[in-house]
Every structure is written in C-alpha cells, then in structure tokens.
Amino acid sequence: MKLTLRCTVWFAIYWLCLSACTPIPQDPIHEPITAAAVTRGLDLTHGLAACGSCHGAAAKPLAPLTGERTWFDLYGAVKAANLTPIALARYTTQELVRIVRGSIRPDESELSPDVHRGYEWMSDEDLVSIISYLRSLPAAGEVTEHRELDSLTRNTKGFFETRREVRGYVPAISKAQPLAYGKYLVDAVARCGFCHTTPAGYFTDSNYLAGGRTIRTDKGEKLSPALLNSQVYGIGDWSAEQIVNFLQTGMTPDKRMVDSDFCPIDFFARGNRSELEAIARYLKSLKS
C-alpha cells in the first residue's frame, strides 16, 4: 500500500515537471474570410492600428504595404516586413498571430519585442480581421530579408529586454463600455504607450503615458511628450473635443502641427468619430 502511494506521488511529481517543460498549446484561431472582417481589417490597417506607418512603402495610409522602410529599435536599424500575400502566404493565421503577439517566428527565432509592443492584447476579432484584409491584397514587392542578431548582441544590448507572449483567446472590448473601449484603443490598437510611456531605467519603473521616450526614425530623433491629464505635464488643458480635433487634423489647440514622420496622425485621422471620442474620453479620465 505504501509502495503504491509512493509511486503515485512520484508519478504526479514527474508529470508536473514534464508539463512545466512542455510548450503551452495555443487555441486554434479560425480566420473569417468575410466581407465584414475584411472591411474591419482595412479600417484598422489604414486607420488606428497604423500598420503602414512602418510597413508602408511610404508612411501614408494608402501606400502599398510592401515594407523595406528602415526603423530603429533597441538593436539598431531594422527593415519593416512586406505585409502583402507575397510574404504572408507562407504563414498560417496562427503563426501570424504569434508573430504579432509574441514577436516569435514559426522557426522559434525572435523579432525584437519593440516592433509590435502594445499589440499583444489586440482582440482576436480585430487582429484576425487585419490578417483577413492583408490576405485580400494583391501580392506586391519582395520578401524582406530577416535581420539576424548574434548571441553576443542579444546578451549585451538586449540584456534588459522584456518580452511576453499572450496565448489563448483575447476577447473584444464592448463599445458599450466607453472608458474600457477607449483604453483598449489607446493601448492595444493605436499603441500610444509605445511612444508616450516613459521607458524604465536601471533603477526606475516605466511611467504610463508620461512621455520622455526618444523616437528615432530615418528622419532623425524626437522626444515624445506626455499624454497625462495634467495642465503642467500633459494635455490636461485640452478638452475632449480638442483631442478629437487633434486626432483628425494633427493640429494642437495652440495651432501647432504634429510631425507626421514621428506620429502616425494621418492614420489616426481615418478612425471613425466614435473611436476618437472613446480615446479622448479615456485620456481625460486619467489622473495626472
């Protein structure tokens, strides 16, 4: 009896250890090739998700998504990938979702997490709609060559790199909850925090939407401003309507135009009015 119990306990421990070392399977995602999904994907790709700001032949909403534009991350220069079927046809929907959410290719090689940071929690519905739209495009351009990083670079420049992979089903946020939906659009679709959240330092934590991140493109460098609801450090003296107007025009209340080479304002202008109002309402709700 004691021997049987002991064997049972050891088997349970062995099974737990084996399970801990086994990759967690992802739930299968079925791609809806429907007119509604493609339309939603088009709106997101050329609107608030601003895919073309990196992957477009030019940083314009309707430029071909043939990639090859140079961007900069923790490791230096990197070329954006082609997003037309000439490149995407070799990937399943599940693989594309993992590339976006985890920055991991099917062969387990890793992209810099900087390239898609913020998209991790985009809902299945929105992310797969984008994929459906991209698959509907005509094949164009060339397949972009992957940047390969050696282990020395990974372990020096990337020593403090943080990455997380979101697995499983990510539900949509109801538009009937305007603050939650606004936060979703700010964080997971428009990715405002990618530029406007203060990066963590050696001894400091990141500071949500407090600005201070250096944005580098092939046009130069700029320091991102704060989006806090503060009249001193942020946009606290802007009304919700002025925020909406800024997103639609790129002009601040004091008549300054934002530089579209650093902020994808041309894409944000294509967001529908209800989405822009949800973003404005959420930003105004933040404590300074």
How far is it, in rounded angstroms, from Cα 27 to Cα 11?
A: 28
Same domain as 148, residue 190: no
What pLDDT was estimated at residue 83?
A: 97
Same domain as 118, residue 62: yes
Same domain as 182, residue 142: no
118-146 pLDDT tens trace: 999 999 999 999 999 999 999 999 999 88
Residue in 246, 267, 266, 265 with CA at minimum distance from that of residue 256: 246
How far is it, in rounded angstroms, from Cα 268 to Cα 60?
A: 11
Question: Does 164 map to a domain?
Answer: no
Same domain as 152, residue 222: no
Residues 243 and 280: beta-carbon distance below 8 Å: yes
Question: Does 264 map to a domain?
Answer: yes
Dihedral pair phi/psi, residue 269, rounded to 5°:
-60, -20
Same domain as 182, residue 152: no
Last residue of a domain, one of 156, 186, 219: 156
Question: Does 108 map to a domain?
Answer: yes
Q: Count Cβ atoms within 10 A of the Cβ of residue 101 and give its class: 0-12 exposed, 13-18 middle, 19 or more buried.
A: buried
Same domain as 151, residue 40: yes
What pLDDT was estimated at residue 86?
A: 96
Residue in 248, 133, 104, 229 with CA at minimum distance from that of residue 179: 229
| pTM, two decimal places | 0.85
Residues 122 and 173: beta-carbon distance below 8 Å: no
Run means of pLDDT, 10 residues per run, the chain, 288 residues: 44 41 48 84 97 93 93 83 96 94 88 86 96 96 84 68 80 94 98 91 86 86 92 93 97 94 94 96 89
Radius of gyration for the chain, computed over Cα atoms and rounded to the nearest angstrom: 21
Boundaries of domain holding 252: 178-285
Same domain as 139, residue 91: yes
Question: Does 203 map to a domain?
Answer: yes
Q: Is 77 left (phi over 0), alpha (psi -120 to 50) or beta?
A: beta
How far is it, in rounded angstroms, from Cα 19 to Cα 17?
A: 5
The CATH number linked to 57 is 1.10.760
Our count of domains for the chain comes to 2
